């Protein structure tokens, strides 16, 4: 493919479920910008690292979110690679492609291994790097996601922070040449746009007015630790005796359950859900239990209380307002806080404006255009 010489080219690096979702608002903003067209100023292309390659974790999201096919999809890596070797594999393949068709910017989202691979590629080729969802910190360096965030932020040129705390963090860490923005959260853009389109999962879930609990579980600190996984399983089983509880089962969690010989009896298991199915569950659940970074805030955006099955959170704003509560992998704490929220219902969702007003992608696009104009005038 030949790119128009008067266009600035963005490569958005995606590869895992959260990134497909997070890439949609910027893609939608670019398409709807009245000052952009296919021949001038700015063009975006998706590059798929194949980190998630299963159809229900990848292809389904492109279709549901109406994302264009990737310009390039990396070959699938060996499942036997360690995380570090997988990052190295993706980095090498991304660099190889970007040397052939060099973009003006590389855009990465969040904190996955694909994010770090894209950041390393941009740094290696001296391509300006844009990090969307920058500046988040849990304070836990044992989490791969935390290490990915920190390294990606250090290598970035334009950093877009979803919250005031993320912005404050990056202002303290700021390196020469970086531009830092409090853009708001692109996931709030998504929730506002897609929540009205949400639909229920297929069986075994049956839409009903009966109250239910929704849970997800996938963090390495929980599923790679048998004691933590057993403790969470015990808590979910206990809660499921009194109210229907649906767990969307991540493939990694399924493998861990099989490895440790664990199983559920009372909990109803769902396959990996699409984004619109997930939004339906978050909207209609009485309570959400998750160790996901994204779901804890999406639940709060939809004013559903959430118990975060971790010892820390990247979103102190959610904890301060009371919409989210940290419970770790402690069965007694999970069950007691769940019962408290279910009976008293005293969750607070004030000050959600910390995350913007649902137009974050437009702010991000404007900043990118201004930087592109600056580069053009200084070049």
DSSP assignment of 328-377 equals TT-HHHHHHHHHHHHHH-----TTGGGG-SS-HHHHHHHHHHHHHHHHHH
Structure confidence by residue, pLDDT tens digits, 327-360: 999 999 999 999 999 988 767 787 778 999 999 9
Alpha helical stretches, state H, the chain: 17-32, 59-64, 83-100, 113-125, 144-155, 164-173, 186-194, 220-223, 226-240, 251-260, 275-284, 293-301, 316-321, 331-344, 360-378
Q: Dihedral angle at the C-alpha atoms of 242, 248, 250, 253, nearest 10 degrees?
A: 10
Which positions are annotated as active-site residues?
Answer: 218
- Helix, coil or strand: residue 226: helix
Domains, the chain: 7-185+356-377 (3.40.50.2000), 195-355 (3.40.50.2000)
Q: Dihedral angle at the C-alpha atoms of 243, 249, 252, 254, nearest 10 degrees?
A: 80
Distance CA 14, CA 18 (A): 9
pLDDT-derived band at 38, boundaries 50, 70, 90: very low
**What's the pTM value of the predicted model, to 2 decimals?**
0.91
Question: Quick one: pLDDT at residue 39?
Answer: 45
Structure confidence by residue, pLDDT tens digits, 165-209: 999 999 999 999 999 999 999 999 999 999 999 999 987 777 667
pLDDT-derived band at 310, boundaries 50, 70, 90: very high
Structure confidence by residue, pLDDT tens digits, 47-105: 999 987 765 556 788 889 999 999 999 998 888 899 999 999 999 999 999 999 999 99
Structure confidence by residue, pLDDT tens digits, 109-143: 999 999 999 999 999 999 999 999 999 999 999 99
């Amino acid at each position: 493919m030949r790119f128009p010489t008067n266009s600035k080219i963005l490569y958005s690096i995606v590869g895992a479920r959260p990134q497909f979702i997070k890439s949609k608002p910027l893609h939608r903003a670019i398409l709807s910008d009245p000052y952009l067209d296919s021949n001038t100023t700015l063009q975006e292309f998706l590059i798929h690292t194949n980190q998630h390659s299963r159809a229900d974790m990848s292809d389904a999201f492109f279709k549901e979110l109406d994302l264009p096919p990737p310009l390039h999809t990396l070959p699938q890596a060996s499942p036997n690679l360690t995380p570090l070797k997988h990052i190295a594999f993706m980095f090498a393949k991304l660099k190889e492609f970007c040397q052939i068709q060099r973009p003006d910017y590389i855009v990465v989202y969040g904190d996955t291994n694909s994010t770090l691979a894209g950041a390393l590629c941009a740094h290696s080729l001296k391509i300006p790097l844009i990090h969307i969802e920058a500046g988040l910190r849990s304070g836990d360096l044992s989490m791969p996601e935390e290490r990915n965030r920190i390294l990606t932020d250090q290598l970035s040129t334009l950093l877009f922070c979803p919250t005031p705390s993320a912005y404050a963090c990056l202002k303290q860490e700021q390196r020469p040449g970086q531009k830092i923005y409090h853009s708001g959260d692109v996931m709030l853009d998504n929730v506002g746009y897609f929540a009205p389109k949400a639909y229920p999962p297929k069986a075994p879930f049956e839409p009903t007015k009966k109250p239910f609990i929704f849970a997800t579980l996938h963090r390495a600190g929980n599923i790679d630790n048998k004691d933590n996984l057993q403790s969470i399983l015990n808590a979910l089983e206990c809660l499921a005796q009194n109210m229907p509880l649906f767990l969307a089962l991540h493939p990694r969690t399924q493998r861990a359950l099989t490895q440790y010989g664990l199983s559920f009896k009372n909990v109803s298991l769902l396959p990996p859900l699409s984004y619109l199915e997930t939004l339906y569950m978050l909207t209609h659940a009485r309570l959400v239990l998750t160790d996901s970074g994204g779901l804890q805030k999406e639940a709060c955006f939809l004013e559903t209380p959430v118990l975060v099955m971790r010892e820390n959170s990247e979103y102190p704003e959610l904890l301060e307002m009371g919409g989210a509560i940290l419970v770790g992998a402690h069965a007694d704490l999970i069950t007691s806080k769940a019962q408290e929220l279910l009976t008293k219902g005293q969750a607070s969702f004030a000050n959600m404006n910390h995350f913007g007003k649902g137009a974050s992608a437009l702010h991000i696009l404007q900043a990118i255009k201004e930087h592109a104009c600056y580069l053009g005038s200084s070049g």
